[in-house]
Every structure is written in C-alpha cells, then in structure tokens.
Amino acid sequence: MADSPEFGKVVVFGVGLIGGSFALALKAAGEVGEVVGFGRSLGTLTQALELGIIDRVGANPGQEVADADLVLIATPVGQMPEIMARIAPYLGSDTVVTDGGSTKSDVVAAARAAFGDRIGQFVPAHPIAGAEHSGAAAARAELYRERKVVLTPLPENPVLNVARVRSAWEWCGAQIFELTPAEHDQVFAAVSHLPHLLSFALVHDLAVRDNRELYFTFAASGFRDFTRIAASHPEMWRDIALANREALLGELDRYQAQLAEMRAALAANDGKRLEEIFDTARTARRAWAEGNK
C-alpha cells in the first residue's frame, strides 16, 4: 500500500449501489482519504454514514468539489445535468469528474453544456456491474472486482485525467475498456438496455392479467433467470431507455423482425428453421459463457 492514498478527497453524488460500492472499494484499497456524500434522501445519506460508505454528508456541493481530487456522479442519468450545472462553477483546477451512467452520448452532451471550456475535466465512464437491489444497503466493496468498466474519453481530456479515472476503477478491481460514446450506446442498447425492456415487458404482461396469480404460481427457474433484471430500479431504467431511445428503437426493430421470423416458422410448422435459430443461439451463448467464466 502507498504511504498516502492516491485520492485525498472523493465526492460522490448518489451513495447507493454504484456510488456506495465505488467508495467502499477505494476505502478497502486504502486509496482514499475522505469520502463526502450527497443524495436526495437524508435517510439514505445517514445509512451510508452508518455503514461506513461515506465519512461525512456534504453540506454544500460547490464547497466540496472545490478541493476534491475526484467527483463521481452515480445518480440516474436524468439527474446528472442538474448536478453538473450546480458544481461546474466551483470545480477546482485539478478536480476530475466522472460518472457511472449507463448511457454516454446524452451524458457527454449535458457535460459539455455545463462545463463548457472545462470539459476536459470530465471523463465519462460506465461500470458494467449492478444488481436487482439498490440503495446504500446494497453497496459492497467487491462489486467491481473482475467486472468491466468502459471509459469513453473525450478529445479534450488530458491523458492524466483519463489515467486518474482509470486508476480509480482499477483500485476497485475492475477491467478497463475504452469506446467512443456513440459506440458505447449502440453496443449497450443491444446487450443491456434491450434485455431489460424485454424482461420488464414480460413481467408486466403477466402482472396485469386478471389471473396473474396462476401464472406466477407455476413460474420456475427459466422465468426467474429471464426476469431477474425486471426487479431493477424503475426510475433508473426509465432514464436509460429515454436517454438512449434512438439506438434502443433500432434494436427493438431488429428484435421484432427476429420474433416475426420465429412466429412465421412456428405458424408454418417449420421445425427445421426453429431448430436452426435455436442452435445458432445456443452456440453463441455457450461461447460467450465460456469466455466470461
């Protein structure tokens, strides 16, 4: 361990699963001197304080970010523009700001509007880790261990600023990758945002039926596996879906075309085509699973 922590002061907006786990991981690594927390609920902030996630509750965002080494905005993406606008005038010259949002193009646009010619101090990021539970009580130091974090550096980012954000996530145990904001949003519309929409849609369809108890009574492991992510935070996923709606609409169109092909094969009693689709999917799924052990 270094003689002194890499980050003297870290300010976290949103001390739930994402922000709280980030703070706990840096604390476990011994690489942060003080964590100051902000949030919408005094109850959540008090809980985060009691759990040792933060060292104190922030009194004034402007004062706290002025001498911070690193600021993490870990709120739903819909709340980020307001936070950015509030802290922009007070950022210290050496303060680096990053985020944990699941979409990037909209977050970058908000950052450009808020930070202006200081946009180089904002390094966008997306930790690919989560759980169906949220809030400070769900935070854990090992959440990011061996998990992916995607950085989407901007042309204005000094190399040192990107390196500091990379280092913070590496101290959390994460594997770091880089994409452009547009690449990020296209990829995650397909592999994250669309699956969440499908899971929410299936559970909603059953939940609004008059005889829903009958269906849920007999739902077993397949239903549990497919719908686990439908227990995710509704507000957060509302914001994600709307923020990435163009890419997500495109992926929905592709998926509907796939469903239409499968429906046509089923209607035509075409077992051969169904098996071909199933076999291609199984092969790809097994290869992905083997590579992610």
What are the strands of the beta sheet with 175-178, ordered from one edge? 125-127, 148-151, 175-178
**Could you tell me the CA-to-CA distances from 212 to 118, 223, 227, 241 in Å, in that order?**
53, 14, 15, 26
User: For residue 232, what are its two tokens?
Assistant: 């995710």
Within the chain, all domains assigned CATH 1.10.3660.10 are found at: 184-291
Question: In tens digits, what is the pLDDT along the chain, a chain of 293 residues?
Answer: 447 999 999 999 999 999 999 999 999 999 999 999 999 888 889 999 999 999 999 989 999 999 999 999 999 898 999 999 999 999 999 999 999 999 999 999 999 999 999 999 999 999 998 665 678 888 999 999 999 999 999 999 999 999 999 999 999 999 999 999 999 999 999 999 999 999 999 999 999 999 999 999 999 999 999 999 998 889 889 989 999 999 999 999 999 999 999 999 999 999 999 999 999 999 999 999 988 76
pLDDT digit string, tens, across residues 181-199: 999 999 999 999 999 999 9
Quote the CA–CA distance of 232 and 194 in Å, as a whole number: 14
The structure's pTM equals 0.87
Quote the CA–CA distance of 181 and 107 in Å, as a whole number: 9
Give ∠ CA 234-65-86 in degrees, rounded to 5: 55
pLDDT digit string, tens, across residues 115-160: 999 999 999 999 998 665 678 888 999 999 999 999 999 999 999 9
Question: Residue 138, Cα to own-chain centre: how many angstroms?
Answer: 15
Quote the CA–CA distance of 28 and 214 in Å, as a whole number: 46
Quote the CA–CA distance of 202 and 229 in Å, as a whole number: 11
CATH code reported for the domain at 184-291 = 1.10.3660.10
Quote the CA–CA distance of 93 and 257 in Å, as a whole number: 51
Quote the CA–CA distance of 219 and 260 in Å, as a whole number: 25
Within the chain, all domains assigned CATH 3.40.50.720 are found at: 7-179
| Fold of the domain built from segment(s) 7-179 | Rossmann fold (3.40.50)
